[in-house]
Amino acid sequence: MTKFDWFWLVLRSAGLYLLVQAALVLPNAVSYTFMLIWMKVNETSDVIRSAVDERVVLHASTYGIQFAMYSFLGLYLITGGGPLLKLANRS
């Protein structure tokens, strides 16, 4: 195998790893998003809401961003990784 073939294999493996990570983060992202929606629909008391609301929003957004980034980068690396492969082919 040439250096380009090894680089292609590493890119595809990294993409697969990131997609697995996205699949592992997805249940947390969905559950915190549903919890946030439930809290907005069911007007809970102000004491409970103020204590929990910040944490739920933080976790929902963090898991959402993780899922989006892992999915995007994983799909990018699996489907081609254009500029990265051109860089490997040049050297």
State pLDDT tens for residues 1-51. Answer: 888 788 888 888 999 999 999 999 999 888 888 887 777 777 666 656 666
Answer yes or no: is 1 within a domain. no
Answer yes or no: is 48 within a domain. yes
- Would you state the pLDDT for residue 5? 82
Total tally of structural domains belonging to the chain: 1
Answer yes or no: is 54 within a domain. yes
Q: Structural domain of residue 62, as residue ranges?
A: 12-79
Q: How far is Cα of residue 66 from the mean position of the Cα atoms in its chain?
A: 3
> How many Å apart are CA 89 and CA 75, to the nearest integer?
21
What distances in angstroms separate CA 79 from CA 34, 56, 84, 89, one per listed residue? 31, 34, 12, 17
Q: Are 5 and 83 within 8 A, CB to CB?
A: no
Question: Considering the chain, what percentage of its residues have pLDDT values greater than 90?
Answer: 26
Answer yes or no: is 32 within a domain. yes
- Would you state the pLDDT for residue 68? 93
Query: Which CB contacts under 8 angstroms, 24+ apart, belong to 48-54?
Result: none
Q: How far is Cα of residue 16 from the mean position of the Cα atoms in its chain?
A: 13
Answer yes or no: is 7 within a domain. no
